[in-house]
Chain A
Amino acid sequence: MKVKVGDVVVPGDIAEEISRVKSETKCVLGPGLRRFSENVIVCKSGIFRKKNPNTYWVDSHQRKYIPVRGESVVGVVVNKSGDIFKVDIGASELASLAYTSFEGATKKNRPDVKLGDVLYAKLKIASLDMEPELECVDSKGKQSGMGVVADDGFLFTCSINVVRKILSPKCPLLKTLGKEIPHEIAVGMNGKVWLKARSIKETIALANAILATEYITNEETNAMCCRIIEALQEVN
């Protein structure tokens, strides 16, 4: 079936609109779309979205993470063997992380990483048929927020939609809560979120707030944030 922007689409639908675009700039096909000879077809179910200029994607519900190169993820170290750590990032395979891809690490100067540590890292290699590879340094060899997060804190898994929602620039959740509740957070594109606040109560409140945002609008999020902040003040 032929579909247009804003429609609910299923795999196999033809996005006719894109092939009709005649422009100098290239069309960007985001997640959920692929090219098939002359047509662009949908390969995920969801809502067909567009952003100017010429960026199209399918807004789908998903819990399983498919690694994409360059995305930042949160993972747990599950194995150490030889020169590499194995990190669980929730993908179909464990990701590997070399000893040397930490800031200032050399073969002699190994980073202090233990089993069970939570890492915030970037995907260096993510191809469909191979195991993903992580790194904890940016292109300048700096740490820039990556690496092992603090020992305490709370790690939970949510759907990838929640992550996309709270990281979108329009979402007020983290900003509003951050004004009242000091906390630190590492949100991975793989749907794992690590969170640390002053007390257990605050941590639970934040985690529940994040999980509750999935199906509510931004206005409702604001109202919810106010309620949470009030409740926490009463408790203290």
Chain B
Amino acid sequence: MDKHRLKMDFRSATKRKLSKNILEMKFMKRSKEKAEKEKEDEERQIMFSHEITPGMKESNYVLEPSFIPCEDLILGRLSYHGFNPVVERMMQERIDEEESKARVEKAAAERRAEKDVSDEEMAWKYGTLSGTISRKFKNGVVNNDERTNPSKRRMDKDPKYTWTKSDNVNSYQESENAEVKRSKFLKPE
């Protein structure tokens, strides 16, 4: 048990720690920031662990001191009629991004809405479909058997016999099933 935990500790310790020299490199700037933040969080947690009560940890509230997410405010750097092309391009990019996001959301909502309507329909269709499929399978068995039982085909096709068909189907099928079962054990010729 202890050995296992030791191993886990070792693994978690080696997982993300990059060496100081690597983090000093210029292209590692973002990773460095991340590493520093993690370290800071860890230290903070250790420092205040005895002061944090369970009530503080399991809060159902998130504090948001800014109005921007509450009121969905846009970024306040705007340009119109090509006054500042750089800003205008950025603005356009933001608008495009939002539009595509809205489109995706709308499509998802529509799909959800559509699904709601078609659920019953689908249930109904599946209900009938299962009937159809089972009939098909029954037919399949019947068709298979037609080869071995030509008299039956004649019975189906022949108008003379059609009126008895519905009555006879069940009895036929039973006998057919029995036949199929039996034929399973037949040796190939």
Chain A positions near chain B (C-beta within 8 angstroms): 18, 26-31, 34-35, 40, 49, 51, 55, 57, 66, 68-72, 120, 139, 141, 144-146, 150, 160, 163-164, 167-169, 174, 177-179, 181-189, 196-197
- In the complex with contacts A184-B83, A185-B76, A186-B76, A55-B70 CB distance below 8 A: yes
Closest to A35 in B: B61
Does B83 contact A31, Cβ atoms closer than 8 Å? no
Does B72 contact A168, Cβ atoms closer than 8 Å? yes
Contacts of A186 in B (CB 8 A): 76-77
How far apart sit A188 and B80, CA to CA, in the bound complex (Å)? 18
Does B66 contact A71, Cβ atoms closer than 8 Å? yes
Which of B59, B74, B76 contacts A188 (CB under 8 A)? B76
Say which one of B84-92, B135-143, B155-163 lies at the interface with A.
B84-92
Which of B30, B68, B79 contacts A185 (CB under 8 A)? B79
Contacts of A146 in B (CB 8 A): 77
How far apart sit A202 and B59, CA to CA, in the bound complex (Å)? 51
- In the complex with contacts A70-B66, A72-B75, A27-B60 CB distance below 8 A: yes
Number of A-B contacts (CB under 8 A): 120
Does B76 contact A164, Cβ atoms closer than 8 Å? no
- In the complex with contacts A31-B66, A168-B72, A184-B87, A120-B77 CB distance below 8 A: yes
How far apart sit A182 and B83, CA to CA, in the bound complex (Å)? 6
- In the complex with contacts A182-B80, A184-B79, A29-B73 CB distance below 8 A: no
Contacts of A187 in B (CB 8 A): 76-78
Closest to B80 in A: A178
Contacts of A178 in B (CB 8 A): 78, 80-81
Does B75 contact A71, Cβ atoms closer than 8 Å? no
Does A29 contact B62, Cβ atoms closer than 8 Å? yes
Knowing that A18-B61, A40-B61 are A-B contacts, what are 12 other residue pairs whose CB atoms are under 8 Å apart, sorted by A's residue number? A26-B61, A28-B61, A35-B61, A66-B65, A144-B90, A145-B90, A146-B77, A168-B73, A169-B73, A177-B80, A181-B81, A182-B82
How far apart sit A51 and B73, CA to CA, in the bound complex (Å)? 13
Does B70 contact A145, Cβ atoms closer than 8 Å? no
Min distance, Cβ A206 to any Cβ of chain B, angstroms: 10
Interface size, chain B (Cβ < 8 Å): 31
Indicate if B185 sits at the interface (CB-CB under 8 A): no
How far apart sit A92 and B90, CA to CA, in the bound complex (Å)? 32
Does B66 contact A68, Cβ atoms closer than 8 Å? yes
Closest 6 CB pairs of A and B: A187-B76, A178-B80, A182-B81, A145-B77, A30-B70, A167-B73
Does A35 contact B59, Cβ atoms closer than 8 Å? yes
Contacts of B84 in A (CB 8 A): 150, 184
Does A184 contact B59, Cβ atoms closer than 8 Å? no
How far apart sit A144 and B68, CA to CA, in the bound complex (Å)? 18
13 contacts between A and B (CB under 8 A): A34-B63, A57-B67, A150-B84, A174-B78, A177-B80, A178-B78, A183-B83, A184-B78, A184-B84, A184-B87, A186-B77, A187-B77, A189-B73
Min distance, Cβ A118 to any Cβ of chain B, angstroms: 13
Residue of B60, B67, B90 with most chain A CB atoms under a 10 A cut-off: B67
Indicate if B64 sits at the interface (CB-CB under 8 A): yes
Contacts of A189 in B (CB 8 A): 66-68, 73, 76
Does B71 contact A164, Cβ atoms closer than 8 Å? yes
How far apart sit A49 and B67, CA to CA, in the bound complex (Å)? 12
